[in-house]
Amino acid sequence: MSRELFPKGGLLRWGVGPSLVAAALTQWGVSADPTVLYESRFERIEGFSADEDLMGQGNWVGEATDLNGQRTLAGGNGVLDEPVPGFEGQYAYIGYDAPSKTADFNVWRPINLKPAGQPLPVIRFEVSFQINDSTAAAPYFDDFRWSVYNASNQRLFSLDFDNEDLGVNYILDDQRGTTPPPIVPTGFQFAHVEPYDLQIDLNLQRNLWTARINGVTVVSALPITSVGAPLTLGDVDAVWVIRTPGKPGDNYMIFDDYRISVLDISEIPPSVEAVGMLNSGAFVVRVLGEPGVTYRLEAATLAASGSPGWEIVNSGVAQSPGGYVDLQDPGAALHASRTYRAVSIR
């Protein structure tokens, strides 16, 4: 059973008898300003021109291959400024039209980060995106992806959006011989013409990555590389994978607010999600973080002053695999509503 991703700004609520318990998807631990490696909103003031290819602007490049892995002509890409709900000003896109032999097409802006010394950093990739479906003129369904490559041009992992079944999947780099790595469902689904905010955190030191969409964790604490590839960051690509070369859909992905930064933290910030209420009246909250890290669950009710008063309700060690731990708030039933956060402790 798949879960549909929530629109931006949504707050999940769960019933607790006649009252409600609210669990806020709160992240903590980013205390200092990040070091931005690259960011763009694809605006004219940045040097981007609408109605022209994205490739060749702002140091963006691209590459298309056929079924034999040979280079071929590039597919559709560009910068647009037509008004789209959820996006402001200009934005980029990939998809819509492709030469007959194109099997997949990537566009990216090189970063080529090769960290020196220890510990290796935590890197955050952020982007807003939206996938538009194919029309009756080209009724075929392709995949769109965000793929992370290292500085040696090895694909580390991908987050995949299947435009046929609307599933959100991931792909690791555990390639064995000529067998491609499996496409693994996350259990989430996306919707057409719905803007989403994607955030991917990479802890290079611990070889772990986590992905969140609109604040909801869709991938938690998976290996960045399963085959010992160098833990560097070459680029983060927008990818169009054409299911049947020669029959591309005119589906496409638009994206904006593209940003890659280094965070001044040692762990991927945790997030929380509701599990449910027990017969005892305790409310169970799942903390998603990194395996082996101890997390403290804190709860708060809104004070008359408007400031939350946080109290410690439980703690535990996140397990492997998955990097999560379920913690109980034994006093939840005594409150009309509660908001939760998780903090890592040593």
Give pLDDT tens digits for 209-264: 999 999 999 999 999 999 999 999 999 999 999 988 888 999 999 999 999 999 99
Cβ atoms 111, 62 nearer than 8 A: no
**Per-residue pLDDT for 343 more than 90?**
yes
Confidence of residue 80 (pLDDT cuts 50, 70, 90): very high
| Domain ranges within the chain, ordered by starting residue | 3-28+270-345, 35-263
Q: Using CA atoms, how far apart are residues 275 and 21, in angstroms rounded to an integer?
A: 11
Q: Using CA atoms, how far apart are residues 209 and 321, in angstroms rounded to an integer?
A: 12
Cα 134 off chain centre by = 23
Of 235-239, 285-289, 302-306, where does mean pLDDT reach its minimum?
302-306
Within 197-319, where are the H helices?
none
- What Rg value do the Cα atoms of the chain yield, rounded? 21
**Per-residue pLDDT for 16 more than 50?**
no
Q: Using CA atoms, how far apart are residues 210 and 201, in angstroms rounded to an integer?
A: 5
Tell me the pLDDT of the chain averaged across its residues: 88
pLDDT digits (tens, 9 = 90+) for 111-123: 999 998 889 999 9
What are the C-alpha distances in Å from 21 to residues 80, 305, 327?
Answer: 43, 20, 15
Answer CATH for 35-263 from 3.40.50.720, 3.40.1440.60, 2.60.120.200, 3.30.930.10: 2.60.120.200
**175 Cβ neighbours under 8 A, 6+ residues apart:** 181, 227
Mean pLDDT of 69-97: 93
Q: Which two tokens stand for residue 148?
A: 């992370």
Cβ atoms 147, 225 nearer than 8 A: no
Q: Give the highest mean pLDDT range of 2-11, 64-73, 126-135, 317-326.
A: 126-135
For position 287, what pLDDT does the model report? 95
Q: Using CA atoms, how far apart are residues 62 and 69, in angstroms rounded to an integer?
A: 15
Q: Which residues of 9-27 are buried (b: 16+ CB within 10 A; e: fewer)?
A: eeeeeeebeeeebbbbbbb
Q: Given its phi and psi angles, is residue 257 left (phi above 0), alpha (psi -120 to 50 degrees) or beta?
A: left
Q: Using CA atoms, how far apart are residues 216 and 5, in angstroms rounded to an integer?
A: 8
DSSP 176: B
Q: Which two tokens stand for residue 154?
A: 């090895």
Mean pLDDT of 10-25: 37
**What is this structure's pTM?**
0.90
For position 117, what pLDDT does the model report? 84
For position 28, what pLDDT does the model report? 44
Q: Which run of H or E residues covers position 284?
A: strand 283-288
For position 305, what pLDDT does the model report? 57
Confidence of residue 2 (pLDDT cuts 50, 70, 90): low
For position 304, what pLDDT does the model report? 55
For position 244, what pLDDT does the model report? 86
Q: Using CA atoms, how far apart are residues 65 and 71, in angstroms rounded to an integer?
A: 4
